């Protein structure tokens, strides 16, 4: 197995591609849609026939989910951390995780540990006068939630780093990464047992908060998903008429490509997005929802090729804005939108990187809603590249380059220090092999 993706020897997609965001977006959209339609037609099937296959598959999943919900069953798979640690997760539990693409890990951390981290974060920001110096939201996405700091642009607290480099986090990330096919076509696409310690923020939403939430969207990219060569290869079975062979768990070609810049961009390849709960949260208090169908990506990627979508429109997807999933184009999918169950501090929540998700609105929230965002971002060429800028941000206490340039922690003396890194932390930052 080669450690590097051998993209030059991979089958060429033969489509027009733009490795940087095209200057004339409508023209590029027209070009790529015509080329994709022609490519699918060359398989002997029409776009409509291919899409009908996807529609049937998705409808069956949506029906199963809505029926289960009507029976009062939980939709989100739940696995105990102790089973992951002991290697005793059943085949049935793994199959359900693969089917739903999302998971709650119960007791990922001891509840007291998580509550302690929450207190430590408060002490960390207060000791540095964060609330006096807070300048308002630094981006226009989470910024739409409100003007109070619910999303703290804080990356280098001891609590966050302790969680990121903990044995418990590494075990769960390895388990989740192993859901993916990481070796194929003669390439080892990523190392499932090594994470790249992707630094992200904290959310602390206080009791009594009103929040409009976040609409249904997805985070893996925008127009680059159709327009870059790497993604055209990753989604090759959607684009060449062999849609039955599309596997949402196949990492091939996903771990080295470029991404168009944007306010919500993620330079890393994440197998799962995730967060760790730092407070107890009830399922009806403005929590995370997903459309728990990993293969829904096939629907999202092919829907713009149907005849009812204008030639220069990708169902509303454009650069510098989050990829929307909405009732105009994706209505059948949204019936499956399902929220997490009640969680306790120390539980963690995970969802496949391509999946549609949202945060429900809440009025007069009961209890806190506190999380640390920590995904699973395994070591691969793309994440190794990004790790170089993460190391620099860590060294200087800066905001990582995927995030707004706020840099609150540069002068904070009690941020996590390099000598506090353990083996997992050093490997995650690329400081040791």
The least distance separating Fe ion from the CB of residue 403, rounded to whole angstroms, comes to 14
Choice between 219 and 229, CB closer to Fe ion: 219
How far is the C-alpha of 55 from the C-alpha of 53, rounded, in Å? 5
In the complex with Fe ion, which residue's Cβ is closer, 281 or 305? 281
**Shortest reach from residue 139's CB to Fe ion, in Å:** 12
Cα separation, 271 vs 280, in Å, equals 26
- Among the listed ranges 31-39, 215-223, 282-290, 313-321, the one in contact with Fe ion (CB under 5 A) is 215-223
Count of residues of this chain found to bind Fe ion when the rule CB under 5 A is applied: 1
CB of 375 to Fe ion, least distance (A): 11
User: CB of 264: closest distance to Fe ion in angstroms?
Assistant: 7
Q: Which of 118, 150, 195, 219 binds Fe ion (CB under 5 A)?
A: 219
Stretch that binds Fe ion, among 52-60, 127-135, 216-224, 366-374 (CB under 5 A): 216-224
Query: In whole angstroms, how close is the CB of 359 to Fe ion at the nearest point?
Result: 8
Nearer to Fe ion, 324 or 378 (CB): 324
Smallest separation, CB 176 to Fe ion (Å): 17
Minimal distance in Å, beta carbon 358 to Fe ion? 8
User: What is the C-alpha separation between 326 and 205, in angstroms, rounded?
Assistant: 26
Distance, CA of 199 to CA of 402 (rounded, Å): 9
Shortest spacing between CB 38 and Fe ion, in angstroms: 33
195 binds Fe ion (CB under 5 A): no
Q: How far apart are CA 239 and CA 347, in angstroms?
A: 38
Length of the chain: 433
CA 156/CA 28 separation, integer angstroms? 40
In the complex, what is the shortest distance from the CB of residue 111 to Fe ion, in angstroms, rounded to a whole number?
Answer: 26
Residue closer to Fe ion (CB basis): 219 or 402: 219
In angstroms, what is the minimal distance from the CB of 354 to Fe ion? 11
C-beta of 219 vs 354, nearer to Fe ion: 219
Is the Cβ of residue 182 or residue 203 nearer to Fe ion in the bound state? 203
Q: How far apart are CA 392 and CA 386, in angstroms?
A: 10
Angle at CA of residue 201, ends 181 and 121, nearest 5°? 125
By C-beta, is 219 or 409 nearer to Fe ion? 219
Cβ-based nearer residue to Fe ion, 219 or 256: 219
Rounded Cα distance, 382 and 221, in Å: 14
Residue 142 or 416: the one with the smaller Cβ distance to Fe ion is 142
Identity of the residue, 298 or 322, whose beta carbon is nearer to Fe ion in the bound complex: 322
d(CA 389, CA 397): 12
Choices 51-59, 99-107, 127-135, 218-226; region in contact with Fe ion by CB under 5 A:
218-226
Cα 202 to Cα 118: distance, rounded to the nearest angstrom:
10
Using CB atoms, what's the residue nearest to Fe ion?
219
Stretch that binds Fe ion, among 103-111, 219-227, 279-287, 336-344 (CB under 5 A): 219-227
| Site stretch for Fe ion (CB under 5 A), options 2-10, 196-204, 211-219, 327-335 | 211-219
- Would you tell me how many other CB atoms lie within 10 Å of the CB of residue 46? 13
Binding site for Fe ion (CB under 5 A): 219
């Amino acid at each position: 197995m080669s450690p590097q993706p051998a993209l030059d020897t991979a089958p060429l997609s033969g489509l027009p591609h733009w490795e940087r965001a095209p200057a004339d977006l409508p023209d590029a959209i027209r070009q790529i849609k015509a080329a994709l339609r022609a490519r699918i037609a060359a398989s002997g099937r029409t776009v409509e026939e291919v899409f009908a296959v996807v529609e049937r598959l998705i409808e069956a999943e949506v029906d199963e989910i809505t029926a289960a919900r009507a029976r009062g069953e939980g939709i989100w798979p739940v696995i105990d951390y102790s089973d992951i640690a002991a290697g005793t997760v059943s085949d049935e539990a793994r199959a359900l995780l693969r089917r739903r693409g999302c998971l709650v890990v119960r007791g990922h951390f001891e509840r007291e540990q998580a509550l302690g981290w929450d207190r430590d974060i408060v002490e960390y920001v207060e000791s540095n006068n964060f609330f006096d110096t807070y300048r308002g939201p630094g981006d226009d996405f989470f910024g739409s939630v409100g003007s109070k700091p619910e999303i703290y642009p804080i990356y280098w607290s001891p609590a966050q780093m302790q969680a990121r480099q903990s044995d418990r986090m590494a075990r769960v990330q390895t388990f989740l990464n192993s859901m993916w096919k990481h070796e194929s076509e003669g390439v080892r696409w990523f190392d499932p047992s090594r994470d790249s310690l992707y630094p992200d923020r904290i959310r602390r939403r206080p009791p009594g908060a009103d929040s409009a939430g976040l609409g249904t969207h997805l985070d893996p990219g925008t127009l680059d998903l159709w327009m870059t060569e790497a993604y055209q290869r990753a989604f090759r079975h959607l684009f060449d008429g062999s849609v039955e062979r599309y596997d949402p768990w196949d990492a091939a070609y996903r771990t080295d490509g470029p991404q168009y810049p944007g306010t919500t961009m993620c330079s890393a390849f994440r197998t799962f997005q995730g967060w760790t709960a730092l407070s107890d949260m009830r399922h009806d208090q403005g929590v995370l929802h997903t459309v728990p169908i990993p293969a829904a990506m096939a629907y999202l990627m092919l829907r713009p090729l149907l005849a009812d979508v204008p030639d220069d429109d990708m169902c509303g997807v454009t650069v510098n804005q989050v990829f929307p999933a909405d009732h105009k184009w994706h209505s059948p999918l949204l019936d499956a939108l399902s929220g997490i169950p009640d969680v306790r501090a120390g539980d963690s929540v995970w969802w496949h990187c391509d999946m549609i998700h949202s945060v429900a609105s809440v009025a007069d929230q009961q209890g806190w809603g506190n999380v640390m965002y920590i995904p699973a971002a395994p070591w691969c060429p793309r994440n190794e590249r990004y790790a170089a800028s993460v190391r620099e941000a860590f060294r200087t206490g800066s905001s990582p380059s995927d995030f707004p340039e706020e840099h609150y922690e540069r002068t904070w003396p009690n941020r996590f220090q390099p000598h506090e890194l353990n083996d997992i932390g050093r490997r995650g930052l690329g400081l040791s092999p």
